[in-house]
A = this chain, B = another copy of it.
């Protein structure tokens, strides 16, 4: 096998698309993994399909997972409104233990593929108060992943790559643009109008839209986002 294999978490957003492009640029054969977890912003999944194809993923799978039944987040619970930007502490858009769950399933696939590398597009700069976007969380998952699998028994490690973790949104956009990412295919909005077809229309008001728009402006890159 000339290429190493990696599982790459792919939401269909700007960050994970850039992460996939970076993994490809590092020479990994990439297995892209998305989740249908009851998110309101389901046009993300349409976007994830398009991004996986554009960036040459070897495979793309979408796992259905009913996290909605636990409730507790504005992203999956229709009874909680998505707020406009601002606010302090952990926002209501936080999905409990989401990155832990997603990384766990990525680990399951990695083990079947005999891959030792998992990529995730978390970012500590713009992490909006989500506990599972911190570097110490990624480190703890890497330790766990090695112990949890055949890797640990066989004496080698599993590696969790979070290449965006210290980058600003502008740096992420500049990096992805240099690697040929088509950000017009990506969806970042927490509350898009998916009925508009394709990748939907962004609200332009939520935290995620605000960070994305500021990122394009700071990067000096034309913003391809379609707004409502």
Contacts and interface: CB of A to CB of B under 8 A. Distances in A.
A196 interface: no
A56 interface: no
A101 interface: yes
A107 to B, nearest CB: 4
How many copies of this chain? 2
A205 to B, nearest CB: 25
Contacts of A131: 147-150, 152-153
A72 to B, nearest CB: 4
A101 B141 CA distance: 12
A137 interface: yes
A222 interface: no
B148 A112 contact: no
A149 B130 CA distance: 8
A84 B70 CA distance: 38
B66 A100 contact: no
A61 B66 CA distance: 11
B112 A134 contact: no
B148 A97 contact: yes
A25 interface: no
Given A67-B108, A70-B108, A100 B140 contact: no
Interface in A12-64: 61, 63-64
A136 interface: yes
A150 B111 contact: no
Interface string A135-157: 01100110111011110110000
Q: Which 10 A-B pairs have the closest CB atoms?
A: A72-B112, A96-B111, A97-B108, A104-B104, A140-B144, A97-B107, A101-B104, A100-B104, A96-B108, A100-B148
Interface of A: 61, 63-67, 69-72, 90, 95-101, 103-105, 107-109, 111-112, 129, 131-132, 134, 136-137, 140-141, 143-145, 147-150, 152-153
